């Protein structure tokens, strides 16, 4: 993946991840009896979204990646994302070692956000490819 393509992907995914984080945070607060999402939490979610997107540099390559290399980088990125989110959660006192259920639910929600953002990206890429193929077909029919 080239640098220009990676930066475009990161810009798009920033908003997808931020939306997913806000939804997951709201669910987390509902599940554990909190009633408000403070401004400091929203700021932390924005920083968290930036940190997660910076982790996408794992995918930077000057050549096309093989399927096994992409899978390895995807796994490394997931581990990096979970690490970043858990570190942020401990720093912001959203979870603690005394409450393993909260850690599990938080990790599960963040993993769902990760999977969801990747699914959105896959559908977006498929739509882009479909549109390009259609325009190429129209170009050669004329």
The answer to whether residue 57 scores a pLDDT higher than 80 is no
Rg of the chain on CA atoms, in Å? 18
Mean confidence (pLDDT) of the chain: 80
pLDDT (mean) for 89-104 = 87
End-to-end CA distance of the chain: 32
- Count structural domains, the chain: 1
Assess contact for 12 and 121: CB atoms under 8 A.
Answer: yes
pLDDT in tens, 8-28: 777 877 888 888 888 888 788
- pLDDT grade for 60, boundaries at 50, 70 and 90: low
> Helix, strand or coil for residue 49?
helix
Which residues have a Cβ under 8 Å from the Cβ of 105 and sit 6 or more positions away? 28, 31, 32
pLDDT in tens, 25-55: 878 877 877 666 777 778 888 888 888 777 7
- Backbone φ and ψ for 16, nearest 5 degrees, come out as -65, -45
- The residue range of the domain holding 99 is 3-141
Residue 88 CB coordination number (10 Å): 19
- What's the pLDDT at 89? 84
- What's the pLDDT at 98? 92
Task: Provide the whole-model pTM.
Answer: 0.69
């Amino acid at each position: 993946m080239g640098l220009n393509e990676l930066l475009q992907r990161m810009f798009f995914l920033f908003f997808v991840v931020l939306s997913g984080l806000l939804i997951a945070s709201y669910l987390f607060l509902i599940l554990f009896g909190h009633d408000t999402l403070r401004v400091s939490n929203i700021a932390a979610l924005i920083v968290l979204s930036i940190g997660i997107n910076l982790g996408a540099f794992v995918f930077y390559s000057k050549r096309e990646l093989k399927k096994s290399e992409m899978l390895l980088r995807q796994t490394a990125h997931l581990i990096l994302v979970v690490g970043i989110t858990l570190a942020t959660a401990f720093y912001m006192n959203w979870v603690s070692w005394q409450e393993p259920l909260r850690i599990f639910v938080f990790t599960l929600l963040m993993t769902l956000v990760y999977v969801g953002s990747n699914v959105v990206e896959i559908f977006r890429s498929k739509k882009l490819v479909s549109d390009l193929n259609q325009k190429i077909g129209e170009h050669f029919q004329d």
